[in-house]
Structure 1
Amino acid sequence: MLVAVFGAGYAGLTLARTLERTLPADAELVVVDESTDHLVQHELHRVVRRPSLADEITVSLADALGCEVRQATVTDIDADAGEATLEPPTGSEETLSYDVGAVCLGARTAFYGLDGVREHATTLKRLADAREIRRDFLDLTDGDRAVVGGAGLSGVQVAGELAALADERGVDAEVCLLEQAAEVAPAFPDSFQRAVHNALVGAGVTVRTGTAVERADAESLSLADGETLDYDQFVWTGGITGSPALDDDRPVVRADLRLGEATFAVGDAARVVDSDGAAVPASASAAIREASVAADNVAALVEHRREGSGGFEPRLARYRFDVPGWLVSVGDDAVAKVGPTVLTGRPALALKTTVGAGYLGSVGAIREATDLVREELGIDAGDVEAAPDDIVDVSGTE
């Protein structure tokens, strides 16, 4: 019996590592991803200012997993038939048939059909993007302007890194963050929004809310209010859309995460509605927790099919989104909301770094976890008090 996990981001890697421990010995597990490495996306913005962090946030899939890892791009999935179309880096297109599968392909940056934005903006999804953003910013001089479109957590973090990089270089370049909603971090609680806004302003970022981009050319943005905003660098973090393998859609799945007859969708690849009927935000924390539910349900279907239990469907676990806090970094500052309490500065930064290191440890990347803590906080990982297991870091996922 073949179990296939498509994608090795937060959801896919967590799911695969769990299945390696829980699947019966006669079940074969294969993970398919376009890369041979797992990228810790919520720390990617740090590479803009600290290129050396790239090694600390990259985990070899061969080291993290003991199952077969196949490098290929998933171009199509038939969730009911249990078939996926794969395109290897070299070689012809092939079809992979599976008995039980999970789609964990994440999401891509959305451009919403805005004329010129895709062509002229840099996104932040890969290490190459972070390096390009850094390279372009280092070319700026006094009086130049870098514009970041979208003030979700990804946009907040890259704007914070660029402002800090300007300070480090002693360059009087403006970093301008645009958001069409009335507040930054629009999907989050009011107290968190206010603290993030204050941290951005404190870092020297020009924050403009209620400002929508309509089109872009090589030198300027046309805004919805008729203004033309010149720029020397343009970064876009304006939202997400689905994988091409799912026709650029993020299909809605219910709390059991079932997408097809024997296929589940986990993480940003789908729009999840939890057991309370609430829409689940696209986030690393949600993806990791959904993976635990998906692992139970994959195992249930595998067992059902092995036993040949006729038409009686197994009872599937259901996912409920419930978190007590949020974390985001803003240059050398950070904001953490833990229950009703909002933390900033060194305590928030330490908490965020500890959560990041904890995640690395959970996927077996102990050296990378230690190096991350040392790089970010200048101390050994053993000297950091462990963060609560239920604090989440959603940065860099939208």
Structure 2
Amino acid sequence: MDVLVLGGGYAGLLVTRKLERRLPESATLTLVDETGTHLVQHELHRAIRDPEYVDDIDVPLGEILDRASLREARVTDVDRATRTVSLADGDELDYDYCVVALGVETEFYGIPGVEEHATPLKRLEHAAEIRREFEAVIDQQGHEDPTTPAESTGTVVVGGAGLSGVQVAGELAAMAREREVADDIEVVLLEQLETVAPGFPERFQEATHERLEAQGVDVRPGTTVTAADESEITTEGGTIDYDQFVWTGGIRGNEAMGGDRPQVRGDLRLDGRTFALGDAVRIVDADGEPVPASASAAVRASETVARNVVAAATADGGFVDLAQWRWESPGWLISIGDDAVAQVGPTVLTGAPANALKSAVGITYLAEHGSFRRALDVLRKEADDTGSFAGLLEQL
């Protein structure tokens, strides 16, 4: 029996690790991933301001896997009718059971000029590019010497105020303060809908908006981008001259899935032998509730998928009693530069308590799914921000 897991992100990695322990010894288990590393995506924005984070959040999958084989290749097609996965190198892999966890790509919605002129944030190279572009904006303002007055004000626009956009805007505003150019660099965050963090609880949205403004970000909800060129963004309300443009305005399905995000129900099945989870699909849980595309949802759905794959694989063609997944949010966390917002139940936290909670979540994840060394390195960096290890531990 051949079992494939496609994608080594949160969903794919956790399903693979569970299947390593639960599949019969006779089964072969292969994880297919384009990069061969597990990127801790919820910390990616930090690599914009501090490239040292790269070593901590980009974990070689070979260090994590036990029984599963790793195939480093890009998936180009999943043919569920023939149970065949095509790879970019020309090879094909057959499967008896498959888990699709390929994640998503940035959606540009066909808006003229946006894909050509804006930088997304999905990969490490994107974080590095955003950092280089921001440093170029600083230099353009005459700030090679921070004691020299700026020749003009630079404008950096972030399109899309979901979690990624909020975190990018916060990092850039913090970076401007660190470089002592905050008065001369304007960070603008655009959102088509009427609130930042759309789709999240209202109190979380309000706290996020407030902390963004406190960090010096110019937040503009209700702003629809209609076009862009090399120096100007056109919106329904007018134009914005810019020096740097970052786009986090939406997601679309992986190309291997035809750019679609097919819907799955609570059993997380695409068909009798193919399961899917994470951002690659739109999940409607066992209670009929839509599930947000988030790392938290991907992590929590992995148990149900692993259980159902094992149940199907060991049923010998008989009746399969599939588990049904219900989404229960543990709360929400978001970084905004050196600040943070957290919601646990009805309680919303900001500042030091929220920062400590977000640090604890990230450190725990790395320790469990990356390495203790990486977790300790992140702890050290977080402590540097608060002034000492003791300061961070007191917050925890």
Which TM bucket (shorter chain)? over 0.9
Q: Which residue matches 2:198?
A: 186
Q: Return the letter of the residue paired with 1:45.
A: H
Q: Return the letter of the residue paired with 2:165.
A: G
Q: How many residues align?
A: 377
Cα deviation code 1:131-160 (max 9, x no counterpart): 110111011124010000000010000000
Task: Name the CA distance, whole Å, in 1 between partners of 2:76 and 2:360.
Answer: 36
Query: In the alignment, is residue 346 of structure 1 matched against residue 352 of structure 2?
Result: yes
Deviation at 1:359, TM superposition (A): 1.1
Deviation at 1:224, TM superposition (A): 1.5
Q: Return the letter of the residue paired with 1:153.
A: L
* 8 Å Cα contact 1:350/1:377 also seen in 2: no
Task: Name the CA distance, whole Å, in 2 between partners of 1:366 and 1:187.
Answer: 34
Deviation at 1:261, TM superposition (A): 2.6
* 8 Å Cα contact 2:353/2:395 also seen in 1: no
Query: In the alignment, is residue 150 of structure 1 matched against residue 147 of structure 2?
Result: no
Cα deviation code 1:242-294 (max 9, x no counterpart): 01111000000111010123010110000000011011000001001111110
Q: Which residue matches 1:222?
A: 234
Deviation at 1:203, TM superposition (A): 0.3
Q: Which residue matches 2:223?
A: 211
Q: Which residue matches 2:126?
A: 129
Instruction: Please tell me the root mean square deviation across aligned C-alpha atoms, in Å.
Output: 1.6
Task: Name the CA distance, whole Å, in 1 between partners of 2:2 and 2:293.
Answer: 28
Deviation at 1:81, TM superposition (A): 2.7
Cα gap change, 1:385/1:285 in structure 2, threshold over 3 Å: closer, same or farther? farther
Quick one: percent identity of the two aligned structures?
Answer: 54
Deviation at 1:384, TM superposition (A): 4.3
Q: Return the letter of the residue paired with 2:73.
A: A
Task: Name the CA distance, whole Å, in 2 between partners of 1:57 and 1:371.
Answer: 10
Task: Name the CA distance, whole Å, in 2 between partners of 1:280 and 1:249.
Answer: 16
Q: Which residue matches 2:292?
A: 281
Match 1:260 to one of 271, 278, 287: 271
Deviation at 1:365, TM superposition (A): 1.8
Q: Which residue matches 1:291?
A: 302
Deviation at 1:367, TM superposition (A): 1.1
* 8 Å Cα contact 1:116/1:217 also seen in 2: yes
Cα gap change, 1:131/1:17 in structure 2, threshold over 3 Å: closer, same or farther? same
Q: Return the letter of the residue paired with 2:157.
A: V
Give 5+ residue unaligned stretches, structure 2. 142-149
Q: Return the letter of the residue paired with 1:346.
A: A
Cα deviation code 1:344-393 (max 9, x no counterpart): 01110110011011111221422111111111124559x84898xxxxxx
Task: Name the CA distance, whole Å, in 2 between partners of 1:185 and 1:87.
Answer: 36
* 8 Å Cα contact 1:80/1:262 also seen in 2: no
Alignment of 1:233-382 (within 5 A): 233-304=244-315, 308-309=316-317, 312-378=318-384
Task: Name the CA distance, whole Å, in 1 between partners of 2:272 and 2:92.
Answer: 18
* 8 Å Cα contact 2:352/2:395 also seen in 1: no
User: Using CA pairs below 8 Å that are at least 6 residues apart, which structure has the higher relative contact order?
Assistant: 1
Match 2:114 to one of 112, 117, 120: 117
Q: Which residue matches 2:7?
A: 7
Give 5+ residue unaligned stretches, structure 1. 388-398
Moved over 3 A (4+): 378-381, 383-387
Helix, strand or coil at the partner of 1:259: strand
Helix, strand or coil at the partner of 1:320: coil
Helix, strand or coil at the partner of 2:349: strand
* 8 Å Cα contact 2:189/2:218 also seen in 1: yes
Q: Return the letter of the residue paired with 2:214.
A: G
* 8 Å Cα contact 2:8/2:36 also seen in 1: no
Q: Which residue matches 2:176?
A: 166
Deviation at 1:179, TM superposition (A): 0.4
Helix, strand or coil at the partner of 2:322: coil
Task: Name the CA distance, whole Å, in 1 between partners of 2:18 and 2:73.
Answer: 22
Task: Name the CA distance, whole Å, in 2 between partners of 1:384 and 1:259.
Answer: 44
Task: Name the CA distance, whole Å, in 1 between partners of 2:216 and 2:374.
Answer: 31
Q: Return the letter of the residue paired with 1:228.
A: T
Q: Return the letter of the residue paired with 1:33.
A: D
Task: Name the CA distance, whole Å, in 2 between partners of 1:122 and 1:313.
Answer: 49
Task: Name the CA distance, whole Å, in 1 between partners of 2:395 and 2:323.
Answer: 29
Cα deviation code 1:82-129 (max 9, x no counterpart): 2110123xxxx1111011110000011100110110000000011110
Q: Which residue matches 1:78?
A: 79
- Deviates most, 357-366 or 162-171: 357-366
Query: In the alignment, is residue 139 of structure 1 matched against residue 130 of structure 2?
Result: no
Q: Return the letter of the residue paired with 1:184.
A: V
Cα gap change, 1:83/1:64 in structure 2, threshold over 3 Å: closer, same or farther? same
Q: Which residue matches 2:41?
A: 41
Match 2:103 to one of 103, 106, 121: 106
Q: Return the letter of the residue paired with 2:234.
A: S
Cα gap change, 1:276/1:158 in structure 2, threshold over 3 Å: closer, same or farther? same
Helix, strand or coil at the partner of 2:270: strand
Task: Name the CA distance, whole Å, in 2 between partners of 1:81 and 1:266.
Answer: 21
Query: In the alignment, is residue 50 of structure 1 matched against residue 46 of structure 2?
Result: no
Alignment of 1:57-68 (within 5 A): 57-66=57-66, 67-68=68-69
